[in-house]
Homo-oligomer: A and B are copies of this chain.
Amino acid sequence: MAVLLQEKSAFFTDGRYTLQAAQEVPPCYEIHNSADIAASQWLAEECSENASIAYDPWLMTEQQLRPYREAAIALTPLTSNPIDSLWKNRPAASRAEAVLHPIEFSGCDAEVKIEAVIADCQAKSLDAFLLTAPDSICWLLNIRGGDVDHTPLLLGYALLGCDGKITLLTEESKIPPTIRHLFGDRLSVMPLEKSVESIKEASYQRIGVDISSCPIALMEAVGDTRLLRGTDPCILPKALKNDVEQQGARNAHIRDGVALTEFLHWVENTTASGKEITELECSKKLIELRSKQAHFKEPSFESIVGFAGNGAIVHYRVTEESNRSIKGDGLLLVDSGGQYRDGTTDVTRTIAIGNPTEEHKTCYTRVLKGHIALARALFPTGTTGAQIDTLARNALWQIGLDYDHGTGHGVGSYLGVHEGPQGISKRSHNIALQPGMIVSNEPGYYQTDAFGIRIESLILITASSIPSEKPFLCSETLTCAPLSPQLIDAALLDDAEKKWLYEYHHWVQEKLSSALPEATRDWLAAIVKQFEAMAI
C-alpha cells in the first residue's frame, strides 16, 4: 500500500517484504512495516485535518477502506486512476481464452456446485450473489483462464442468481463456444466495461456481496437498498477439496517431488564438483525439470532461490542485479511450486552448500522441530489455524528466535497458491480447520544479511481415527521431497521426531524412486539411510 501526500509519501508492507522494500522502493517513500503502523494510522497522523484523500474505487474494498473511515479520513473516489495515465508502455491485458477444467480433475460437476451455492444463498434469503473473486468463479464454473501469471485465473466478476442465471462479466472473447454451450441459457457473458450497468439493471432485490473482495465501484452499482454483506459462498466449499481433488493433489505432489528431488541432487552434485551456479540458473533448472512432468502448466509462483543473505529476504525474487553465485559455505533456500492440472504445489527446502555452521544446524533443527510438530499434530474439530500456529514456533521461541510471517496458507486445486479461508497464523482465529483443506506448513528462521531457513510442505487436513470423545483432526503431508540430514543436530530431536523423519523419507523413497534417474535414486537412498541411522 502506498500513500502519496503533497509533501511526503509512505510505503507499507508486512514483515515478509520490508527488507526487499528497503532495496527496491525509491527513497522518497518512508517504508513501514504495516504491523507497526497501518497506512490509515500514518495518514491520520500526517495529513492535515481538512485533507481529502483520493482512491480508486476499482482497487479498494469496503474492508480495506474501513480503517480509513474509522480514522475519520475524508475519502474521495476517483473516476479515473492517474497512475493509469502516467504508466507508459504498460503491457496489454491478457486475451487468453478460458478452458474447461474437466471432471477428472474437478471431481464435481459445475451444475452440482451451482445448485449447492444457490441453496446456500437461498437459506440466507438472497436473490443473488455478486462473485468478485476470480478463483471463486473459476471453481464454481469448472473453468480456468490464462489472465494471470502463475495462477490459471479468468479475470472478471459474476452475478449468480438464485433463479439459476449467471451473468459473467469479463472480456467476451475469452469465453469460447465450448463453455457457452455447456451452460446454455443460464450463462450470459457481458463485457467488463458494462459491469456497473449490468449490475444496476439486474432485477434481483437482495444481492449478497463479500466486502473483502468486492470493489467499492461495484458495491455502489448494487446500491444500499439491495446490498447484503456476507461471505463469498464459494470460498468454503472451494477450500474443502473433494476426493478427486485430494487424489489429484497427491499425484501432482509426487510428480513435483520427482522434479524437485532431481533439482536438489543437481545442485548438490554441481556445487560439490566445484562448478559455479547462480540463483538464476537454479530458477531456470526448476522450470526445466518441472516441465518434464505430466500435467505441468507453469510455476505456481516465481521461484525464490536465495543463497546466504538473499535467503533471509522472505519473498526474495532473484533479478539480474541481485543474482548471486552459489559458492563457498552457506545455506540455499529454494521455495517453488507448480501448477499442474490435477493440483497446485508449493514447497521449500533449505540445503547446505559447503559446510554448515553449528548455528545453521541449531536453527535448521529447531525450524524442523516446528515443522514436525505441526505435521504430527492431532487436534479437536473446531481448532483454528491460530491455535496450532504456536506448535510450529515453540522450538524456536525456546531459544529466543521467531519468524515474522504466518506458518501456513491455504492452497487451491489448480488455482491460487494462496487461498482462504483457512490459514495457520495468529490472525487465523475465525476459521476452524476442516477435513479436505490444504494448507502449507512452513516455519522458518531468518538472519538478516546472513542466511534464511524455511521448511515447507503442503498438508491435507484429514479426520483422525484416534479414539476420542469428540472428533479429532490430523494431517497428511502431501509434499514429497527429501530434507537435509547434514543440517540436522540429532541431539535436539526426540525419538518421536526421529521416527517421523525416517518414516517420511521412507515414504518419499517409495513414491519417487521408480521415476528418478538412477544416480538420483541412489542419492535419495543414501539420504534415507542417514535418517534410518538417526532413528535407531
A residues in contact (CB < 8 Å) with B = 373, 376-380, 383-384, 386-391, 394, 397-402, 426, 429, 464, 466-470, 472, 494
Contacts and interface: CB of A to CB of B under 8 A. Distances in A.
Contact of A394 (B391, B401, B494): B391
A384 B466 contact: no
Nearest to A380: B402
Contact of A390 (B391, B399, B470): B391
B397 A377 contact: yes
Contacts of A400: 378, 464, 466-469, 472
Nearest to A494: B494
A474 to B, nearest CB: 10
A401 B470 CA distance: 8
A446 B453 CA distance: 41
B386 A468 contact: no
A369 to B, nearest CB: 13
A379 B383 CA distance: 21
A378 B399 CA distance: 8
A24 B398 CA distance: 46
Contact of A397 (B379, B386, B429, B467): B379
A429 B399 CA distance: 24
A388 B386 contact: no
Counting chain B CB atoms within 10 Å of each CB, which of A380, A390, A391 scores highest?
A390
B388 A472 contact: no
Contacts of A399: 378, 466
A262 to B, nearest CB: 36
Nearest to A448: B469
A388 B380 CA distance: 16
Nearest to A466: B400
B386 A398 contact: no
Given A387-B390, A390-B391, A429-B429, 7 more contacts: A373-B394, A377-B397, A386-B387, A387-B389, A400-B469, A400-B472, A401-B469
Counting chain B CB atoms within 10 Å of each CB, which of A373, A384, A387, A468 scores highest?
A387
> Chain A interface secondary structure, helix, strand, loop or mixed?
loop
A318 to B, nearest CB: 26
A479 to B, nearest CB: 23
Contacts of A494: 494
A468 B250 CA distance: 40
Given A377-B397, A378-B398, A426-B429, A388 B387 contact: no
A494 B401 CA distance: 22
Nearest to A401: B468
A520 B102 CA distance: 76
A469 to B, nearest CB: 8
A393 to B, nearest CB: 8
Contacts of A470: 402
28 contacts: A373-B394, A376-B398, A377-B394, A378-B398, A378-B399, A378-B400, A379-B397, A380-B397, A383-B426, A384-B426, A386-B386, A386-B387, A386-B426, A386-B429, A387-B389, A387-B390, A388-B390, A390-B390, A391-B394, A399-B466, A400-B466, A400-B467, A400-B468, A400-B469, A401-B469, A402-B469, A402-B470, A494-B494
Nearest to A446: B469
Contacts of A373: 394
A384 B387 CA distance: 11
A389 B389 CA distance: 11
> Which are the 9 A-B pairs with shortest beta-carbon distances?
A400-B468, A400-B466, A390-B390, A429-B429, A387-B390, A380-B402, A378-B397, A379-B397, A400-B472
Contacts of A467: 400
A394 B429 CA distance: 17
Nearest to A428: B429
Contacts of A472: 397, 400
A398 B378 CA distance: 5
A471 to B, nearest CB: 10
Contacts of A376: 398
A466 B402 CA distance: 13
A434 B132 CA distance: 41
A494 B472 CA distance: 25
Contacts of A468: 400-401
Contacts of A429: 386, 426, 429
Contacts of A388: 390
Contacts of A466: 399-400
Contacts of A386: 386-387, 426, 429
